[in-house]
Structure 1
Amino acid sequence: MTNLSKTQKLVFSSMLMALYIVILYFTQSFSFGAYQIRIATSMYALSYFFPFLVFPLGLANFIANALFGGLGLLDMIGGCAVGIVTTYSIVLIKQGNLNKWLIALPIILVPGLGVSIWLSYLLNLPYTALAMSLCIGQIIPALVGVLLVKTLAPIICKTQKENLV
């Protein structure tokens, strides 16, 4: 999978962006606001295998916030930035050959602490309470993301070995 052409990467990225948006559509009742469990962010973990997903997943967040968020340009741009920082942090975990469980940390902390910066302003809520709430809500997507990586790792590694032969 590391030897994908530019076209294949574009198609794969587009499919995952669409999937992110569809997941968010069906989970939007608990994916926005002061208390949120954004299951779609578990897809950020896929950047562990596919570093080229850093920007597409950030863009998917931008589009989803534009379509469903209702909090305007600040939330759209901020969500995009948080998505990019989160996915890039996961790429760094892979490059550092660190334990896969560490993938959970950026999925919890970057959105939890980052999104709270502008949501506390937009929703007129205290930053600390909002950050704690968002971090707690991100635990489930973080665990799903780690399990996704652990489940896909043998399959992707096998595919990569077959491509080398």
Structure 2
Amino acid sequence: MKTVKKITISAVIIALYVVIMFVSQGFAFGQYQIRIATSLYSLSYVYPFLIVPLGLANFLSNTVMGGLGPLDMIGGALAGIITSGAVYLVRKFNWNMWLITIPLVLGPGLLVPIWLSKLLNIPYSVLAPGLCIGQIIPAAAGVFIVQVVNKHIKGKIG
């Protein structure tokens, strides 16, 4: 795939992530953070070049809507990169596609509470289960997204 096409797709996905976060922020923040936008991390299964842009999307989202400062912004970017990178590894090792649900749930669910517990003064053990539960719906949506992209879109754009 040509560089211009990769940059264009990356920009569209970053914008889509931020828009989804903006529209869903009413239930994307709180004890059970159902962040539908994190389902887009699944796209790194099909397009590994999106790993870093997805981290950047999280960084931008946390910058615009998070309000918790640099630690949350940088932590979110790293969580996005680690999670979407782990999703890609499922494909690289030719494992069952449904296994992408594991990093989609556990990546944000176990990483984000590391700094949120410090910022919010809430124990990690209280935050992590709620965040993992909130990621179940985005994880299932991520599998659906990969199935749709593989079937209807992948061949048309690269």
Please state whether the residue corresponding to 1:142 is helix, strand or coil.
helix
1:89-126 CA deviation, whole Å, 9 max, x = no partner? 01110010000110001010010000001111111111
Verify: 1:94 aligned to 2:120, yes or no: no
Number of the residue aligned with 2:63? 66
Corresponding letter in the other structure for 1:143: A
Number of the residue aligned with 2:141? 144
Please state whether the residue corresponding to 2:94 is helix, strand or coil.
coil
Runs of 4+ in 1 over 6 A off after TM superposition: none
Number of the residue aligned with 2:54? 57
Bigger mean CA offset, 39-48 vs 144-153: 144-153
Q: TM-score normalized by structure 1?
A: 0.91
**Which of these residues, 52, 72, 95, is aligned with residue 75 of structure 1?**
72
Number of the residue aligned with 2:17? 20
Verify: 1:31 aligned to 2:28, yes or no: yes
Corresponding letter in the other structure for 2:146: V
Task: Specify every segment of 5 or more residues in structure 1 that has no aligned partner in the other structure, as ranges.
Answer: none
Following TM superposition, by how much is the alpha carbon of 1:33 offset from its aligned partner in structure 2, in angstroms? 3.4
Following TM superposition, by how much is the alpha carbon of 1:154 offset from its aligned partner in structure 2, in angstroms? 2.3
Bigger mean CA offset, 54-63 vs 144-153: 144-153
Please state whether the residue corresponding to 1:143 is helix, strand or coil.
helix
Corresponding letter in the other structure for 1:47: S
Q: Distance in 2 between matches of 1:75 and 1:32?
A: 13
RMSD: 1.3
Number of the residue aligned with 1:125? 122
Q: Distance in 1 between matches of 2:152 and 2:129?
A: 35
Following TM superposition, by how much is the alpha carbon of 1:156 offset from its aligned partner in structure 2, in angstroms? 4.6
Please state whether the residue corresponding to 1:101 is helix, strand or coil.
helix
Corresponding letter in the other structure for 1:26: V
Following TM superposition, by how much is the alpha carbon of 1:56 offset from its aligned partner in structure 2, in angstroms? 0.3
Q: TM-score normalized by structure 2?
A: 0.95
Task: Specify every segment of 5 or more residues in structure 2 that has no aligned partner in the other structure, as ranges.
Answer: none
How many residue pairs get aligned? The number is: 157
Q: Distance in 1 between matches of 2:57 and 2:31?
A: 21
Which of these two proteins has the greater Rg computed from alpha carbons? 1
Instruction: Tell me the percent identity.
Output: 53
1:18-66 CA deviation, whole Å, 9 max, x = no partner? 0000000000111123331000000000111100000000000000000
